[in-house]
Structure 1
Amino acid sequence: MKPEEAYSIRLISDVLIARKNLFHVETWIEEDKYKSSIFLNLKRITFQGNETMPKIYNDKLYFVRNLDNQSILLEDQPYGEPKTLLTLGKIHKFEFHKKGILLIGEDNADKNEPFKANKLKYRFDSRGLLRTRQSLYLFDGNSIRKIVSGDFDVIDLATNGDRVVIAATKEGDDYGLGDLYEVDLETSELKRITKGEGAVQAIAMNQEGKIAYLGHRKGLTPWAVLEIILPEEEKSFICGKSCGNKVLSDLFDGAKDKLIFEKNIITTLGQEGGTSHIYQIIDNKVEKITHGNIVVRGFDYKDDTLAYFYSTPEKPVILKYNEVEYDPNPNVKGFTPERIIINSNGLDIEGWAIIRNPEAPTILFIHGGPHMAYGYAYFIEFQFFANNGFNIIYSNPRGSQGYGEEFAKACVGDWGGKDMEDILNFVNAVKEKYKLKGKIGITGGSYGGFMTNWIITQTNIFSAAISERSISNLVSMCGTSDIGFWFNVIESGISDPWSREGIERLMKMSPIYYVKNVKTPTMLIHGEEDYRCPIEQAEQFFVALKMQGVPTMLVRYQGDSHEHARRGKPKNMIDRLKTKLEWFNKYLT
């Protein structure tokens, strides 16, 4: 398989039920660009290749057309071109209200002007310098005005056409903490609904004006399981082991967490192990709606009817509506992994293996987060390397989400400790089970890149390594990452990263501290606009390895953020697979 073939798939990024009709958005790569179009009952109805967010209101279709530097809200017309309603620098969401159309969006900003930072959170990965923030707008049919804005983000919006509630980072912006607020559209006055501190991922409102949100009230806790919370009724529910979906994939569909509150039914996703499914909360009871080894990535629920799209290791995406299943990639059939459970230091660790040939080389993949998870989603990269003759193995060590909060928290303060032992124990178990005889390589991104760097400082059992968007120095990351100043502190189990004790602790948890031990040929891959794990992390490790004579290469991708392997520039993603294949062919075959 060639890298171009791996990315020739079509994906689904949104689905909408309206008056018993099914709309969906299809996404693909064409001429080095991401394209998207709207489909009605499986037939394409928009054709410029940059349309998304379909909604029906008063029997009219509304949607967004995204251009390079602006988003346009359009109203479809029976004859002729769609009518342009308004233009913003970026439109993230829109909903209909009796006073007009509510939007979460951003203004345009001049990126060539000097930028002056005066707060901790002044840039963010995939957004760059925060010259504009996500605000709430109201379009009354003639003009647009800003309702809620400031040096924070409005992150979600819900309305029943009368009441308006937003989620915003108004009081916890530096740390990404969110709250719910009721909005007075006339005065812009905000009335805070949530209490305490926590995260808000998505909100929903039913026709009666009742609200629910996906999140938690556990403060600054990246490992916390998410719940469905009804703040005005003081109720909360957990779907599976955690609400939402933290099962990773490298599909470029842009799927996001959501929930729907229809009448008295709340519909959302829940995760258990390596699966994610649709759950419904009815009469204070949680019911699992879908089943099997799948990862549901998006859904809609309307008038007792459900539509959703899901991924499997064999299929990038399947859209299901009533009894109809639609596969936009009928000729794609991935390899099926075998599930493996091992016991490591008293915990059951779930993992998977695609074994092509026990004599062939094997690649170990380590996920990021660390509170994300691998599972039953299609992985472009796994299938690419399996198609090129490699065995593929991957697991969910302690720290992974989907196994309960204590499991997810079990790596905090111990990065490179028992989580590393879980990974190495899994490798040894797989080697023994399948009698693997070939060389083994290691790769991972973000925390997986940290773990790749860390492991090669602790052992020489791997014949080659590729570390992506990685961490090598937890101290310097505190001052350069968009979240490092708090995330590294929490995850490392310290209180002050700039105290002598804090610096010493962070350094001793950093791969760079042990870099003299490395013998493994190591490639470092990084996006130049990565603000989550800035490229200086790779630069440090590369220079240190180079000065010691370790075979190494630094690959830099211009214009790519921390999402370079999932939503990077298409030509860069293709080159990345080609470059990784060349490195592993050189040192593993």
Structure 2
Amino acid sequence: MKRITKESLFDLKSINQLAQCYYRSYFTQTEMNQKKNRYETSLQSIDLKTKEIRQWFSKTSTIHSITVAPNLGKLIFIASENFEAKPQIFTIPLDGGSAVALTDEKEGVSSYYWIPNTEILYYQTSEKESKEEKEKYPQPISISRLTYKADGGGFIDYNKKHLIRKINIRDGQADTVMTSDESFSLSYVQKDENYLLFNSAKDPEDEWAYGQKVYRFDLATQETTAFFDGKYTGFYYFAAANEAEDALVFYGNEFDYQFVTLTDIYLYEVETGELKALTADLDIEIGDAFVGDFQQNAKGIGVLWLDNERFVFDSSEKGQSKLYIGQRDGDINLLFDQPLHLTSAALNIAKDQLTVSYSTPTEPSALAHIPINTAEFTPFYQPNQSFMEAHQVVDPERFWYKGYDDWDIQGWYLAPIEAKASHPAILYIHGGPQVAYGETFFHEMQWLAAEGYGVIMLNPRGGNSYGQEFVASILGDYGNHDFDDLMLGVDAVLANHPEIDADQLFVAGGSYGGFMTNWIVTHTDRFKAAVSQRSISNWISFYGVSDIGAFFTEFQLQNDLTNYQRLWEMSPIAHAANAKTPILLLHGQDDLRCPQEQAEQMYVAMKKNGVETKLILFPQSSHGLSRNGLPNLRLERLQAILDWFNAHSNK
């Protein structure tokens, strides 16, 4: 059989964004085009009886928010007409025909909410201040807000009006119903059009009040009020309403542990105004917390009402997705529990069966049915089947070991495809840290195994899917017992795999994993070489240059610039004199989450201390280079990692 290569990225397809009606499942399919150096997404369907695949909207840069409107006989979705166009709302007849643009907004459409079984939808757009003529020369950027940039988006344009418009799908007549100077996200419109809900800044007058909250906009009076009373001051986001609209589900938490507070399911009783946490006693993370490098345009499972009393939702637990059925009376029952990663879902018309998109460590992306009454998992469409049948992949070994203080820590080990009596291995550290490795396909790890490396993937304390105490244990303590967990994990793998050459251990990671890689090379010399990606090296400068630096540093490290000594102690470059390990630093030049200067500081510190080092910068690349960066640069990144390890191994 063939082995996976770095170019295999161009052969594999990712499917997500599910919708369903009668005998068809609709989905988006994303592929990478090597010649045109871009991602291409198409809207497709599969006939559940004949298994015939049909394309509804041609390959473009953006397709999302697919809705089936049976009463109108239409598909509704947001898409870019071509790779240069702004996204608009399109419709297509369910019995076939051409796509028709419902909107023509200069700044495009970001989201919409269709009122079920009507001809009405509300959508979100924006307008820039008009100018008589284009500026001929570069203009200064004036900054007066604390939050003024965002990774992947650049400098935030505050000279915009944010709008909600109402449009009739049949005649295309649109009217503006709400205008705001502050950005927001539309989430719900009540059927009788009495009010709508949106999320916006928690306190527009206080820029240090981090986060958002739910607002209610009365469509008749044009008044905006906070949706919950003063009892609920945390973070809440609308999820779904039942058909009777007398019960609303929200995601939320009271921000007790800042960024790392677990998300819960809350149920709001419209008649009484009572908001109750349904999952608070489960100690689980609601939604998808798993990290990977393959899934594109995944929207997650969300909350799907089965009837006026019951709904389905997903969680991330111990490295895998689970499904639950929640009830208004507070009862929660486990529906589905298998070692895989669920990435999107849709209910059929009868609401007795889920169609899900999913991934496993050996299955990049596929579709399956899960009946509500039996929860029997039945795959029915695997777009990568022929590729996977022709290529060898590694089904990782799952294991648990004892970390610091005898905490149970989970890990995965991918052995090299070609078994050898002595081979190198890479400790690969995930980002976040409030995410987790899990039962999902990881192209890079499979490729490294194909190139002869064992790959060690661990979920040390601070990561998600293991409960509140586990994820919060890292607060104010980066580089301490998380470091211990990782080193003990390497020891455990070596003890169980004597075929690994302990003198040929390597370490790599990105974001938090990049920070930890920098930390490791300044605290131990057990690794022969390291690759640090989109990393953090200096928490003091990170505080002022990251798009989330001030909030992240205060919430996660529990210190600010008034205690710069503690921030310095937790900074890898403070310990640079201890480093001996050759280290390659990879960084995107447009990374605003962990800006380029973080890698540059580490690079100079290594140079100053005589450590073998190299810095590679990637243009037009934000923090997500390894997941959604330009295809050619993703290949360059992978090759740089392999070349560095090969140069320092005995292979």
- Measured in 1, the distance between the counterparts of 2:316 and 2:474 equals 19
Match of residue 149 from structure 2: 123
Query: RMSD value over aligned CA atoms?
Result: 2.4
Do the aligned residues in 1 keep the contact of 2:9 with 2:32 (CA within 8 Å)? no
The yes-or-no answer on 1:177 pairing with 2:211 is: yes
Do the aligned residues in 2 keep the contact of 1:311 with 1:376 (CA within 8 Å)? yes
Q: Deviations over 1:492-532 (max 9, x none)?
A: 122xx221xx1111011100111111111111111111111
Do the aligned residues in 1 keep the contact of 2:367 with 2:380 (CA within 8 Å)? yes
The yes-or-no answer on 1:532 pairing with 2:580 is: no
Q: Deviations over 1:243-279 (max 9, x none)?
A: 1111111124132342233432222211111001222
Aligned counterpart for 2:533 among listed residues 465, 468, 473? 468
Aligned counterpart for 2:123 among listed residues 103, 112, 118? 103
Match of residue 327 from structure 1: 382
Aligned counterpart for 1:56 among listed residues 43, 68, 73? 68
Gap change, CA 1:47 and 1:85, over 3 Å in 2 = closer
Q: Bigger shift: 348-357 or 35-44?
A: 35-44
Within a 5 Å distance, the mapping from 1:2-41 to structure 2 comes to: 2-30=5-33, 31-41=36-46
Match of residue 368 from structure 1: 431
Within a 5 Å distance, the mapping from 1:170-249 to structure 2 comes to: 170-172=201-203, 174=207, 177-194=211-228, 195=230, 196-200=232-236, 203-209=239-245, 210-218=247-255, 221-231=258-268, 232-238=273-279, 241-249=284-292
Q: Deviations over 1:118-143 (max 9, x none)?
A: 22111111121111676533334323
Within a 5 Å distance, the mapping from 1:158-169 to structure 2 comes to: 159-160=190-191, 162=193, 164-169=195-200
Gap change, CA 1:180 and 1:242, over 3 Å in 2 = same
Do the aligned residues in 2 keep the contact of 1:16 with 1:22 (CA within 8 Å)? yes
- Measured in 2, the distance between the counterparts of 1:526 and 1:411 equals 25
The yes-or-no answer on 1:276 pairing with 2:321 is: yes
Could you say what secondary structure the match of 1:49 adopts? strand
Do the aligned residues in 1 keep the contact of 2:402 with 2:409 (CA within 8 Å)? yes
Could you say what secondary structure the match of 1:516 adopts? helix
Could you say what secondary structure the match of 1:530 adopts? coil
Gap change, CA 1:220 and 1:240, over 3 Å in 2 = closer
The yes-or-no answer on 1:250 pairing with 2:283 is: no
Within a 5 Å distance, the mapping from 1:296-335 to structure 2 comes to: 296-302=342-348, 303-321=351-369, 323-330=378-385, 331-332=387-388, 334-335=393-394
Match of residue 379 from structure 1: 442
- Measured in 2, the distance between the counterparts of 1:574 and 1:327 equals 25
Aligned counterpart for 2:410 among listed residues 328, 332, 350? 350
Displacement of 1:59 after TM fit? 1.4
Displacement of 1:343 after TM fit? 1.1
Gap change, CA 1:135 and 1:554, over 3 Å in 2 = farther
Gap change, CA 1:308 and 1:262, over 3 Å in 2 = same
Could you say what secondary structure the match of 2:488 adopts? helix
The residue identity in structure 1 corresponding to 2:368 is: K
Displacement of 1:180 after TM fit? 1.8
Q: Bigger shift: 560-569 or 235-244?
A: 235-244
Match of residue 100 from structure 2: 83
Displacement of 1:458 after TM fit? 0.3
The yes-or-no answer on 1:153 pairing with 2:181 is: no
Do the aligned residues in 1 keep the contact of 2:320 with 2:341 (CA within 8 Å)? yes
- Measured in 1, the distance between the counterparts of 2:384 and 2:191 equals 37
Could you say what secondary structure the match of 1:91 adopts? coil
- Measured in 2, the distance between the counterparts of 1:571 and 1:536 equals 23
Q: Deviations over 1:44-103 (max 9, x none)?
A: 323420244322222112222224351121122567632221134343322223583212
TM-score (normalised: structure 1): 0.93
Do the aligned residues in 1 keep the contact of 2:606 with 2:613 (CA within 8 Å)? yes
Displacement of 1:191 after TM fit? 2.6
- Measured in 2, the distance between the counterparts of 1:146 and 1:445 equals 44
Could you say what secondary structure the match of 2:59 adopts? coil
Do the aligned residues in 1 keep the contact of 2:213 with 2:237 (CA within 8 Å)? no
Q: Bigger shift: 98-107 or 374-383?
A: 98-107
Do the aligned residues in 2 keep the contact of 1:104 with 1:157 (CA within 8 Å)? no
Could you say what secondary structure the match of 1:550 adopts? coil
Displacement of 1:172 after TM fit? 4.7
Unaligned runs of 5+ in 2: 48-52, 371-377
- Measured in 2, the distance between the counterparts of 1:63 and 1:227 equals 29
Q: Deviations over 1:379-417 (max 9, x none)?
A: 111111011111010111111111110111011111000
Gap change, CA 1:13 and 1:116, over 3 Å in 2 = farther
Match of residue 575 from structure 2: 514
The percent identity for this pair of structures is 28
- Measured in 2, the distance between the counterparts of 1:159 and 1:219 equals 31
Displacement of 1:115 after TM fit? 3.0
Q: What is the total number of aligned residue pairs between the two structures?
A: 585
Q: Bigger shift: 556-565 or 544-553?
A: 544-553
Q: Deviations over 1:277-299 (max 9, x none)?
A: 22221342222222211111111
Could you say what secondary structure the match of 1:545 adopts? helix
Displacement of 1:225 after TM fit? 0.9
Q: Deviations over 1:553-587 (max 9, x none)?
A: 11111111111111111111121111111111111
Match of residue 341 from structure 1: 400
- Measured in 2, the distance between the counterparts of 1:313 and 1:135 equals 42
Q: Deviations over 1:539-561 (max 9, x none)?
A: 11112212333221111111111
- Measured in 1, the distance between the counterparts of 2:13 and 2:194 equals 38
The residue identity in structure 2 corresponding to 1:261 is: W
Do the aligned residues in 2 keep the contact of 1:250 with 1:380 (CA within 8 Å)? yes
Displacement of 1:108 after TM fit? 6.4
Could you say what secondary structure the match of 1:316 adopts? strand
- Measured in 1, the distance between the counterparts of 2:210 and 2:345 equals 26
- Measured in 1, the distance between the counterparts of 2:313 and 2:623 equals 27
TM-score (normalised: structure 2): 0.85
Within a 5 Å distance, the mapping from 1:420-439 to structure 2 comes to: 420-435=483-498, 436-437=500-501, 439=504
Gap change, CA 1:558 and 1:186, over 3 Å in 2 = farther
Gap change, CA 1:7 and 1:277, over 3 Å in 2 = farther
